[in-house]
Amino acid sequence: MVIVNLWHGKLLRANSHDESILTISEHASQTHRTLLLHRVIHILAALVFLSLGLYHLLRGIYLEAACAIIIASTFDILQVLTLSKKSAKNVFAVNLHAVTAWIMGMAYIVYASFTASYSGLGYWVVLILCLSFVILLIMAFVKKFKKFWLMQHGYFWLLAIVITSAHIKLIFAM
């Protein structure tokens, strides 16, 4: 997830001057090359998470987290494969990319919530994740998705920090 966020940062920095670009997906679909790289990076990261869910979490006591990460990584692959310049351009349209991206995002939140809970990070972390997501949604609609990519990127970093911290705590607890 950290590598995906670093890639997103590179994309955003490259196009940050263009005020008409509203989302990370729209940044990624600017050229065939960036879309291809975006797909490869997302798919590889999703396959790592899918492996974690299938081969580690399902065999342990973390069934709920396993289901959440399997769903999240599956929808991560689906959302990036359905991404196109056309699907990314209209943020208000309901299309396959938008639907799979929102499901992916929510599933990653559920996964982060389970791992935070399992690791003992505390319920306040889960509360912050959920409240931050609600704030993200409200701000997106209030600002008509203007610079939504900035809010997305910040939220994805929050998810990565929570998931990484939870994993580190779980590893050292063993």
Torsion sign, CA atoms 137, 147, 166, 115: positive
Q: What is residue 21's predicted lDDT score, i.e. its pLDDT?
A: 62
The model's pLDDT over 1-50, given as tens digits with 9 standing for 90+, comes to 778 878 777 777 776 676 666 677 787 888 899 889 989 999 999 999 99
Residues 6 or more apart whose CB falls under 8 angstroms from that of 75 comprise: 100, 101, 103, 104, 107
Alpha-carbon distance values, 126 to 118, 123, 139 (Å): 11, 5, 20
Q: Which residue type is seen at 31?
A: T
Q: What is residue 24's predicted lDDT score, i.e. its pLDDT?
A: 77
Q: What is residue 5's predicted lDDT score, i.e. its pLDDT?
A: 75
Q: What is residue 174's predicted lDDT score, i.e. its pLDDT?
A: 62
Regions of the chain short of the pLDDT cut 50: none
- Closest of 132, 63, 77, 70 to residue 107, by C-alpha: 70
Q: What is the pTM of this model?
A: 0.85
* Residues 11, 34: Cα–Cα separation, whole Å: 8
Q: What is residue 79's predicted lDDT score, i.e. its pLDDT?
A: 92
* Residues 75, 73: Cα–Cα separation, whole Å: 5
